[in-house]
Each structure stands twice: as C-alpha cells, then as structure tokens.
C-alpha cells in the first residue's frame, strides 16, 4: 500500500496526474483501473481521477510493494552546470536563452540532450530539485520553441507557477512575445497578418487554409541590411510554424528557413556565412499587469540578445 502526505510542491494538481508521475512506469490502463476499483483515497475517502490535491492531505493507494517498486522509478540525473545563458532566475521561474539546434523536449530522434534535461540537472546541482523526493512535480517549460529557433524559454520551478504561466501563454492578454527574424526583401511598413493555418500531419508542413486554425501575427520593420530586413514579430496565437508561414505568404521568407524559405538564397547564405538555420529568435517577453503568485513580474520585460555569430552576420551584410 502507498501512503503519502501531500507537500506544498505536490498540491494543486489532479490526483491522476500526480499518480502518473509517481508511478511513471505504469501503463495508463493500470492508473485508471485504480480509480475504477476505488483504490485511491484522500483522508480515507474514495476520490475520482479529477480530484485536486491539497497540501497536508493523506493520499492512500492500494497497490502492492512489488507494483510500487516496478512502477516508481525516478529518473537518473547527474550534477552539471547549465551551459546556456540564464536571463533571469528566482525561486519560482528560470528564463533561459536557448541556442539553435537544441530541443526543448525530447522527440523520437533525441531524448537525452534537451534543454529540459539540462535545466533539471542544473536545478539538481543547486539543490532545488531531487527526482527521488519531488515525485509529484518536475520543473518544466511553460511554452516551447522549435529546435532551430533560438531565444527565451521560461521554466517553472513549482506547480502553481507552471499553472499560472500556462494560462498566461494560452490567453496572451497579459503577456507579449516578440521575435526577431531576418527576412528577404525590405519591409517598408507594418503588416497585420490574419491567416488561418492547417498542419499536414503526414508531412509536418503547415499551410494557409480556410479549414485551418485562427492565426494572427503583427510584423514591423526594425533594421535594414542590403537586400534584407530585420523585423520584429508579435504573435497573438501560437500555431505551429506560424511566423515562418505567415512571413513566407507575404513574400518575406525567413533567411535559412529550410521548409518555407527561398532555397537558392538559403544555399548562398550558407556558403557565404556558414549559417544554415532559420534566422528566427525569441527576442523579448513582456509581462503586463498579472495577478497571483507571479504578480511581482508585472510590467517587467526580459530580453535575449542575438548570438555573436548572428551579430557578425548582420554586420557583414550591412
């Protein structure tokens, strides 16, 4: 039998999600069978899977010691320093300037070398996270960036902060995300782009379609370089490849974009500057008037500078 008192770090989440983390190796069918059999109790009372945990409550799960040993296997972790630039850190959040080429989360091709794993190692090194003790919550990013997009990523160190950040990024009313993109051509005036996007699940490509999901972007010129423009992009929706498809649709493809860009120009750019990634950077995050646990971030702005290589390229094409 599993009996555990819920800590402050584990509270405010659904009990089924907690058990999915605690018994991380268990099949989902096993987890939800526990609820059907009424084998999950809080303070002696049977609860459903959507019950929200509170600090100090006693969780009882009727599983054998053999099942606990089989399904409760905390991730292995090593103490290492974080090699990427920390833009901001406090007891609730960590903001990282992610380099190009690094996944935020693992995928089929890569599970080990990810920004999330590096952040967990860093927090373990600092003594702020222990996978053997913090089984109900794992520090996590509140949003994502493509592998080949650099810039700001916010991690939450505790569940209440993650929940607040996820709401902010979903609603987008009290938070602004600004990107920098180097595009082909001179953008002379700001663009409001309102074009729904549809993703082809087989190819992974995204296109503008009336059958797609609403997608809105605002683009304004920032600096001019020879035959290029460095533009600022603010997104009001967070669709896959939104900025890349929207800019390409207006004949301002992002330099280095291997899916939606000018392939001939990309090759020339690679030959000249040894740069073959999309020139897209999550440059700035602005908090407005927010409430709750993270209210102290109200009216704060966080900025991630371009890399030295990108600045060198911009200086060469002036």
Catalogue the active-site residues. 146
Contacts of 263 (CB under 8 A, 6+ apart): none
Contacts of 195 (CB under 8 A, 6+ apart): 208, 215, 245, 246, 249
Phi, psi of 95 (to 5 degrees): -110, 125
Q: For residues 19 and 216, give the distance between their C-alpha atoms in angstroms, rounded to a whole number.
A: 38
Q: For residues 272 and 79, give the distance between their C-alpha atoms in angstroms, rounded to a whole number.
A: 40
Helix, strand, coil percent values for the chain (each to nearest 5)? 25, 30, 45
Look at residue 165 and give its three-state secondary structure: helix
Q: How many CB atoms lie within 10 A of CB 94?
A: 22
Q: What is the DSSP letter of 132?
A: T
Contacts of 34 (CB under 8 A, 6+ apart): 19, 40, 61, 62, 63
Could you tell me if 64 and 5 are in contact, meaning their C-beta atoms sit under 8 angstroms apart? no
Look at residue 169 and give its three-state secondary structure: helix
Q: For residues 128 and 122, give the distance between their C-alpha atoms in angstroms, rounded to a whole number.
A: 9
Gyration radius (Cα) of the chain, Å: 23
């Amino acid at each position: 039998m599993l009996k555990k008192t819920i800590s402050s770090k584990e509270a405010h989440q659904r009990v089924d999600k907690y058990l999915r983390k605690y018994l991380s190796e268990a099949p989902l069918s096993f987890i939800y069978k526990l609820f059907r059999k009424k084998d999950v109790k809080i303070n002696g009372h049977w609860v459903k899977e959507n019950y929200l945990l509170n600090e100090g409550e006693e969780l009882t799960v009727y599983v054998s010691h053999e099942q606990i040993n089989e399904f409760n296997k905390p991730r292995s972790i090593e103490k290492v320093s974080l090699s990427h630039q920390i833009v901001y850190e406090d007891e609730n959040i960590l903001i990282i300037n992610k380099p190009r080429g690094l996944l935020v989360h693992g995928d089929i091709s890569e599970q080990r070398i990810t920004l999330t794993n590096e952040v967990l190692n860093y927090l373990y090194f600092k003594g702020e996270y222990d996978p053997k003790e913090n089984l109900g919550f794992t520090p996590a990013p509140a949003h994502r960036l493509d592998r080949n997009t650099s810039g700001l990523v916010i991690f939450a160190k505790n569940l209440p902060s993650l929940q607040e950040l996820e709401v902010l990024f979903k609603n987008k009313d009290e938070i602004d995300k600004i990107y920098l993109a180097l595009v082909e051509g001179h953008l002379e005036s700001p663009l409001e782009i309102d074009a729904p996007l549809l993703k082809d699940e087989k190819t992974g490509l995204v296109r503008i379609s009336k059958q797609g999901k609403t997608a809105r972007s605002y683009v304004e010129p920032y600096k001019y370089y020879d035959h290029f423009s460095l533009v600022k992009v603010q997104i009001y929706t967070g669709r896959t490849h939104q900025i890349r498809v929207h800019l390409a649709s207006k004949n301002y493809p992002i330099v280095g974009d291997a899916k939606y860009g000018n392939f001939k120009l990309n090759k020339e750019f690679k030959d000249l500057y040894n740069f073959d990634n999309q020139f897209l950077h999550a440059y700035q995050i602005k908090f407005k008037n927010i409430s709750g646990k993270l209210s102290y971030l109200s009216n704060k702005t966080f900025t991630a500078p371009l890399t030295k290589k990108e600045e060198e390229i911009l200086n060469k094409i002036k």
